[in-house]
Amino acid sequence: MPITRRLFALLTILGMLSWAHLAPVIAAESAAMPTVLITGANRGIGIEFARQYAERGWIVIASCRNPDSAKDLQALQRNHENLQLVQIDLVDSAGIDQFAQSLNGKPIDVLINNAALLGDLKTQLFGQIDYEQFTQILAVNAIGTMKLSESLTPNIRLGTQKKIITLGSSAGSIASINGNPDLYAYRASKAALHLLMRNLSFELADDGIVVGIINPGLVDTRGFAEMLAGTKPIPPEFQQIVNLLKAGVIQLSTPEAAVTDMIALIDELAPEQSGVFLNADGTPLPW
Ligand SMILES: NC(=O)c1ccc[n+]([C@@H]2O[C@H](COP(=O)([O-])OP(=O)(O)OC[C@H]3O[C@@H](n4cnc5c(N)ncnc54)[C@H](OP(=O)(O)O)[C@@H]3O)[C@@H](O)[C@H]2O)c1
């Protein structure tokens, strides 16, 4: 509990103040809470970011493509008046411009570029590549994320924390590909995204803006735990990942644990970590 509230609580217990005195203090504190904007906040890692930041009392601008059908996010909003639901589609450049204008100079402390398109795995294998899907994956993951970051930079400049955080992926690490040539489109989109964010880190260094590029690791947003437990069938495209999990070659984390780690990292992210590709535990990863 912040010190002002603790003091008011003590004075209230001592009978020197009523809780009516406390309401303006809580309102003033809420106004002073940082603002985070999260993309793709309707499911997976995104909704967990929204939940954890909302629980902390931050002002959460939770964006998704279709707020009307985002039932889980709507439920979260009902329990958190500090969470606002907005519509952002990363492939809608005009819509992004409109959204940025509608903010009317509102500061954003932390932008979390979480949204991404993984796409169908089969049509990202050599010999079966669907180039329309390839284009769409690049448009969302690399170009759309760049566009949103550029459009919201004036608001980040006005924030206190000044952080642009992007969820990258070890799948986009060129140095890490060894004998597993799959995911042509998704890997290319994440490699491009890493490059764009590193560029941006130099662009915005003089503004004091820290650009974080974080690999969340394998997070269970696809039901891998149930596949491992045998309670869910394993789709052929996930068989290899499940084999690696069974062999203990890769580790699986829950959205809750992964987001807790990433928020701790984001809280402490220093200027010298700007434009560095990091694991959720803060260790640097090769490009
Ligand atoms: N999960 C992992 O193991 C893992 C590993 C490495 C990196 N990552 C990265 O972590 C982030 C979150 O992963 P996740 O597993 O939570 O992903 P997810 O479950 O597939 O969710 C992706 C989110 O992105 C949104 N999205 C897709 N296209 C969009 C568009 N055009 N405009 C706006 N939003 C769009 C989706 O919205 P709809 O619901 O409308 O489709 C959804 O909210 C991604 O950047 C991913 O690449 C994840």
Q: In whole angstroms, give the CA distance from residue 60 to residue 35.
A: 6
Cα–ligand 1 centroid distance for 111 (angstroms): 15
Report whether residue 119 contacts ligand 1, using a CB cutoff of 6 Å. Answer: no
Would you state the pLDDT for residue 4? 42
Q: Is the pLDDT of residue 7 over 60?
A: no
Report whether residue 89 contacts ligand 1, using a CB cutoff of 6 Å. Answer: yes
Would you state the pLDDT for residue 115? 98
Q: Confidence class of residue 30 from pLDDT cuts 50, 70 and 90?
A: low
Would you state the pLDDT for residue 6? 45
Q: Which whole number is the average pLDDT over 194-201?
A: 98
Report whether residue 216 contacts ligand 1, using a CB cutoff of 6 Å. Answer: yes
Mean pLDDT of the residues in the chain: 91
Would you state the pLDDT for residue 32? 83
Report whether residue 252 contacts ligand 1, using a CB cutoff of 6 Å. Answer: no
pLDDT, tens digit (0-9, with 9 covering 90-100), for 90-139: 999 999 999 999 999 999 999 999 999 999 999 999 999 999 999 999 99
List the residue whose alpha carbon is closest to atom 19 of ligand 1: 44
Q: Which whole number is the average pLDDT over 263-280?
A: 98
Structure token digits, residue 146: 């760049």
List the residue whose alpha carbon is closest to atom 11 of ligand 1: 114
Q: Is the pLDDT of residue 24 over 80?
A: no
Report whether residue 65 contacts ligand 1, using a CB cutoff of 6 Å. Answer: yes
Report whether residue 189 contacts ligand 1, using a CB cutoff of 6 Å. Answer: no
Report whether residue 39 contacts ligand 1, using a CB cutoff of 6 Å. Answer: yes
Q: Does domain 34-215+258-279 have CATH number 2.60.120.10?
A: no
Structure token digits, residue 168: 């990258």
Listed in order, strand segments (DSSP E) in 161-256 are: 163-167, 210-215, 218-219, 252-253
pLDDT, tens digit (0-9, with 9 covering 90-100), for 200-258: 999 999 999 999 999 999 999 999 999 999 999 999 889 989 999 999 999 999 999 99
Crossing angle of helices 71-79/44-55, nearest 10°? 0
Question: CA Rg, the chain, in Å?
Answer: 21
Cα–ligand 1 centroid distance for 46 (angstroms): 7
Would you state the pLDDT for residue 175? 94
Q: Is the pLDDT of residue 29 over 70?
A: no
Helix or strand run (H / E) with residue 60: strand 59-64
Report whether residue 115 contacts ligand 1, using a CB cutoff of 6 Å. Answer: yes
Probe target for ligand 1 pocket from 37, 38, 43, 250, with the most ligand atoms within 8 Å of CB: 43
Give every CB contact of residue 27 below 8 A, 6+ residues apart in sequence: none
Q: In whole angstroms, give the CA distance from residue 31 to residue 52.
A: 18
Q: Looking at ligand 1, which atom is closest to the CA of residue 88?
A: 33
Q: Confidence class of residue 46 from pLDDT cuts 50, 70 and 90?
A: very high
Probe target for ligand 1 pocket from 64, 85, 93, with the most ligand atoms within 8 Å of CB: 64
Q: Is the pLDDT of residue 63 over 80?
A: yes
Report whether residue 45 contacts ligand 1, using a CB cutoff of 6 Å. Answer: yes
Q: Which whole number is the average pLDDT over 17-26?
A: 40
Give every CB contact of residue 95 below 8 A, 6+ residues apart in sequence: 87, 88, 89
Domain ranges of the chain: 1-32, 34-215+258-279, 218-253
Q: Looking at ligand 1, which atom is closest to the CA of residue 70?
A: 39
pLDDT, tens digit (0-9, with 9 covering 90-100), for 134-180: 999 999 999 999 999 999 999 999 999 999 999 999 999 999 988 77
Report whether residue 96 contacts ligand 1, using a CB cutoff of 6 Å. Answer: no
Report whether residue 172 contacts ligand 1, using a CB cutoff of 6 Å. Answer: no
